[in-house]
Amino acid sequence: MKTINLVLGIHNHQPIGNFDHVLEDAYQKSYKPFLDILKRYPKIKVSQHYTGFLFEWLRKNHPEIFTELRAFVKSGQVHLMTGGFYEPILAIIPNKDKLGQIRKLNDYIKKNFNFKPTGMWLAERVWEQHIVKPIAEAGVHSVVIDDTHFKYVGLKDEDLLGYYVTEEQGKTVNIFPISKMLRYTIPFQPVEKTIEYLRSISSEDGSRIAVYADDGEKFGVWPNTYKHVYLDGWLEKFFAALEENSDWIRIVHFSEVMEKVKPIGRVYLQNASYAEMLHWALPPELFLKYEEFEHKLKGARLFDHYEEFVRGGYWRNFLAKYPESNNIHKKMIRLSERAHALEHKGIKVDRVLDRVWASQCNDPYWHGIFGGLYLPNLRYPVYKSLIHAEVELDKLERKPKLVVTHEDFDRDGSEEVLVESNILDAYFRPEEGAALFELDYKPIPFNLLDILSRRPEGYHNKLKHPVTAESNGDGIQSIHDLVVSKESGLEKLLNYDWYRRGSFIDHFIGATTLEEFAAAKYPELGDFVKQPYTRKISQKKDKANVQFSRDGLVKVNGNVHMRVTKTFEFAASSGTIRCKYNIENLSSQPVEADFGIEFNFGLMAGDAHDRYYKINGSKPADSRLRSAGSTDEVRTVSLTDEWQGLLVKVEVDKPLTLWRFPIETVSLSEAGFERVYQSSVVFLHSIVKIDKEYVLKFRLTVGKSK
C-alpha cells in the first residue's frame, strides 16, 4: 500500500500590546475550539507553536488552556515548538538576542509543560542563511519554511517530499518545506481535495513527507472561517477523514519523522519569505508591476511552469520603504548594544534585555495584510519597551542628565542630532529640514512622534479601481482575495505626504486653504522643508543649545534669499524645549510671506473623549484630536491625553493663526481597508512683512496632565 507521512503544524501568534478584546476573540473563535475538537481525535498529532506574549496572556486570562495543553503534551498528541519568545524577525536582531529569545521560550515551555522543544517556528518565514548558526546553538533541530524558498534555489515539487540539512559555519539544522498546496487547501477547500492530494504524492516505500504548517488564526479568526471551520464542521470532517485513512496517512511529529526518515540531502536557501510578503516589500510602483506580471503569467497559464523565477522584494527593504520602521529598528539595535556592553562588564541586565526583546516583536516593523506598522496600538508597546529599557540603561551606566551627540542614528550616511536627558529624548534630522522626528517623554514613557506619514501603497489601486474577487472553486475566499472596506469613501482620503511628518517643520506657503494644506496639495514657496541645515552645538553642564541654520530661497516676487535659523534650548530635568526662530531677509527689498511652523503629535486616538485640544486655555466646540479647524490670535495650543496622564503644550510669543487637522492613513488589514488616525497637526502661521529680520519664539512643553 502506498503511504505518506503527514506532519501538522499550527502557529498561534498575537503581537505585544494587542487589544484584550482581540485576543479574547481569537481565543474563543480559534485557540479554544481547535483544541476542543482535537481532543475528540486522539490519533491526530499536531505540533503547536504559541509565542511567548500569547502564552503569558493565556496563562493570565485562561489558565485552563495550560491544563489542557499539559495533558496533550503528556499524551504525546501535541508537541510544542519554540521560536523567538516575542516573535522577532530573527535575521534583523543581534545574534545574542536571537539566542536569548529562543532560550527564553525553551525555558518557558520546559517550566510550564515539562517538554523540551526541538522544532522551531520561524517568524514570518523570513530566512537568511546566517540565522542557522544561532538557531543550532540554541538547541533547535528542525525549522519549517515555505516550499517556495526551496524552489527559488532550483528544487522541484518532487524534490520537496522530505526534508533537508542546511549549515552555517559547520552548524547544522534540518529544514522542512511547508507544502503550498496544503496551505491553500487547508482549511479553504473541501476536505476531499486535501485527501486526494495526499494520495497523489504517497509512495510504496512510505518515505515521503508532506508538511502543513500555518497560522492557527486561519481556523476561526480570518474572515468567514469560524462558520466554515467550526459551525459548518470543516475541521471535524478533516480530522475524521485523516483517522479514516490512517492506514496510509501516517500522522507524525517532526522529531518522529527525523528518527525514521533520513534527510534528502544538503541545501542552502536564498534570502526569502512567503510570496505575499515579498510582494508587500516592493515599492508601490513595482508592487503594481509585479501584480500585473503575475496576472499575465496566470492568464497565459505560464505561472506554475515559471513560478520559481517569479518573486518580489526582500524583507529588509521594509526598513528602507518605511523610515518609521527603520527608526524603531535602529533605536532597538542601539539599546541592545548598550545592554550587551554592560553584560560584558558583568552587570546584570536581564530586565533591560527582556524589554529590548519585547521591542523586537515583528508586527510593527513591516506592513502587508498582517503587519502592524500602520497601527499605533502595536507601535506603542514597542516604543514603551524601548524607552523603559533606555531609562534603566541610563541608571546602570550612570549617564549624565543631559547628553547631546551627533551620529548616524538611522544608518543612511547622514548624521542626526540626538538630545537625551532624563526627561526627554529629542532627535533631529539636519538633512531634512532639521525637523524633530522623535520626541520621547521618559516619565510616562511615550514617543509623541510615533506616527506614520501618508504614502502611496500598491493596494490603494484596488480602492481607486475596485474589482470584485471571486471565490476559489467551491471553497471560501482566502484573506488574500478579499476586497473589503470598513467604511465607504476611503478613496477620498488617499492624500500623500511629500515629506516625513514631524515637528519644527518650517513652511513658507502660497495662497491656499486649510483643506488644501491638510491634503498636502498646496504651494510650498520655500526650499526649507526637506533641505539640509547646518548645525552648531554648545553645552555647559546641565544646559545645551542646538542651532540649525539654512540659507534658502522663497518664491515671492521671484526668488528671494532668506536665512532661517532656529535655536533650541534644553535643560536637564526639564520637559520644556525653547526655540527661537530668526528669519532673515538677505535681499534688499522687503518681503511679505506666509511663514509657519508645523508640529505633529501622535496621541493614538483621534475620537476618544479623554483626548482633546485646548486653544488659548479653552476647549473648542469640537475638541477631538481628529477635529479640523482654523483659529486666529492663538498663543497657546495644548493636547491632553487623560488615558496616559500626558499633556503637550505649544506656546508662542506672538498671536498666530492655528490650523489643526488630523493625519489619517488608509491601510489594508485582514479585516479590510481601514482609516487609521496617526497624528494631530498643529500649524501656527502668519503673513508677515520682513524687512530685515523676523523673530518668533516657541516653547514646547511635555509633562503630566495631573
- Closest of 170, 15, 12 to residue 89, by C-alpha: 15
Label the pairing between strands 591-601 and 611-615.
Answer: unpaired
User: How far is it, in rounded angstroms, from Cα 5 to Cα 253?
Assistant: 9
Report residue 205 as a C-alpha cell.
516505500
688 strand-pairing partners: 593
The alpha carbon torsion through 34, 37, 43, 46 (nearest 10 deg) reads: 0
- Closest of 315, 293, 288, 318 to residue 303, by C-alpha: 293
Run of H or E residues at 649:
strand 646-669
Residues 294/287, Cβ–Cβ less than 8 Å:
no
User: How far is it, in rounded angstroms, from Cα 74 to Cα 60?
Assistant: 22
650 strand-pairing partners: 637, 700
User: How far is it, in rounded angstroms, from Cα 591 to Cα 652?
Assistant: 22
Residue 295: phi, psi to the nearest 5? -65, -40
At residue 519, the 3 state secondary structure works out as coil
CA distances from 598 to 277, 337, 449, 682 (A): 35, 34, 13, 6
Q: Which residues are catalytic?
A: 124, 215
Report residue 195 as a C-alpha cell.
485527501
DSSP code at position 643: T
- Closest of 6, 452, 463 to residue 206, by C-alpha: 6
In 10 A of CB 24, how many CB atoms? 13
Residues 597/506, Cβ–Cβ less than 8 Å:
yes
* Residue pointed to by grid coordinates 538630545: 419
Label the pairing between strands 534-540 and 505-509.
Answer: unpaired
- Closest of 50, 90, 41 to residue 69, by C-alpha: 50
CA distances from 185 to 131, 189, 218, 238, 471 (A): 30, 5, 12, 11, 13
- Closest of 390, 412, 413 to residue 403, by C-alpha: 390
Report residue 439 as a C-alpha cell.
520626541
Which amino acid belongs to residue 92? I
DSSP string for 586-628: -SSS-EEEEEEEEEEE--S-SS-TTEEEEETTB--SS-BTT--
* Residue pointed to by grid coordinates 503581537: 15
Residues 495/701, Cβ–Cβ less than 8 Å:
no
